[in-house]
Amino acid sequence: MNKDIESVINKKLLINTSPRHGRSNMSGGRKWTVIKKDLHSNKYVYLMLVPVLIFYVVFRYVPMFGVVMAFQDYKPALGIFKSEWVGLENIIGFLTGPYAWRVVRNTLLINIYQLIFAFPCPIVFALLLNELNSRIYKKVVQTISYMPHFISLVVVCGLIRIFTQTNGTINAIASVFRVDFGNLLSRASYFRTIYVVSGIWQSIGWGSIIYIATLSSVDPNLHEAAAIDGAGRFRRIWNVTLPALIPIITVQLIMQLGRIMSEGYEKVILLYNPSIYETADIISSYVYRYGLEGMNYSVGTAIGLFNSIINIIILILANQTARKISEESLW
């Protein structure tokens, strides 16, 4: 038996060390012939990719040239090519300004709250749905949970304002227990909670789709074998179901960490007011208010560039850490 195993291992080693599994010994002319043959046989597939490439070049890569405004005192009348070059003055001015720490802190805290509370919710929801035996009930629950994702953010924020106002639903319920919160959106201490909880409600169903799809590929025989061995439902979830989700959880976690300094301004702008800037003002809302509305385009671009660089660094570090710990990574 040991000899058989040894022979299999030796064969594997021979295969892995053969030229086919290393560098290709195909000549340049041979490679070009294969490429031309592939282009000819799949020409319609590549043709369908052309509009996508044009979109990304025109609307994603060409506008990147505007990043030079971060190093200029940009004036719309002068344009990019004639505006005065100021180097790192805009970035330094932001970092040493009175609002830098506030907006960076608020952005980090909101994203950390979402990482702690919102990120696990779709995973738990998918695990619970996977345990349902009734297909009809499962479909109904899934459909209901997906619906909030398709509601306009403007409508969602309008509902939040109605529920949290002084005579809103939340205060009506709290009044039963002789509690009055007042207008919750005018109290800075409640903003992050409202923001994260409403985000969980809107995204928990849609975010669970990728986990439900992964669970559908788990071999049912593994659950049957675990049940025969005496494993209960919780033990089967822990030892069979959850390990199947580890690769996709790792990838999603890396991507979430890569966005830890980014948060869209739309929802914040629709919910906040000057009285709660202390906890609600984040990097993107500050860029919108100060950079776009205040027409400080160079400063806004500089802040966005600084934010992107930090996100890229965090993404690379998170990816390398995940690769060392679990051997799962984005690249």
Closest CA to 165 of 325, 55, 273: 273
Q: What is the CATH number of domain 91-326?
A: 1.10.3720.10
> Which percentage of the chain shows pLDDT scores above 70?
91
The domain spans of the chain are: 2-85, 91-326
What is the pLDDT, as a whole number, of residue 249? 93
How much is the pLDDT for 25? 54
Please list the residues that pair with 106 across neighbouring strands.
none
Residue 63 pLDDT: 85
DSSP string covering 44-88, please? Answer: HHHHHHHHHHHHHIIIIIGGGGGGGGGGEE--TTTHHHHSEE-TT
CA distance 323 to 318: 9
Instruction: Tell me whether residue 106 is exposed, middle or buried, using C-beta atoms within 10 angstroms of its C-beta: 0 to 12, 13 to 18, 19 or more.
Output: buried
What is the mean pLDDT of the segment spanning 75-79?
88
Q: Residue 160's CB: how many other CB atoms inside 10 A?
A: 22
Q: What single string gives the DSSP state of each residue in 265-301?
A: HHHHHHH--GGGHHHH--HHHHIIIIIIITT-HHHHH
pLDDT digit string, tens, across residues 190-228: 999 999 999 999 999 999 999 999 998 888 888 888 888
Tell me the average pLDDT of the chain.
Answer: 86
Helix (H) or strand (E) holding 89: helix 89-95
Distance CA(311)–CA(107), nearest Å, equals: 12
pLDDT at 124 over 60: yes
Residue 147 is predicted with a pLDDT of: 94
- Do 293 and 208 contact (CB within 8 A), yes or no? no
Give me the residues paired with residue 85 across strands.
72
- Which is more confident, 3 or 189? 189
Q: Is the pLDDT of residue 2 over 60?
A: no
Q: How many other CB atoms sit within 10 Å of the CB of residue 107? A: 22
The pLDDT assigned to 26 comes to 57
Q: Mean of the pLDDT values across residues 172-192?
A: 90
Which pTM was predicted? Answer: 0.81
Lowest mean pLDDT among 32-36, 115-119, 167-171, 204-208: 32-36
Lowest-pLDDT range of 11-15, 22-26, 67-71, 154-158: 11-15
At 10 the pLDDT is: 42
Residue 3 has pLDDT above 80, yes or no: no
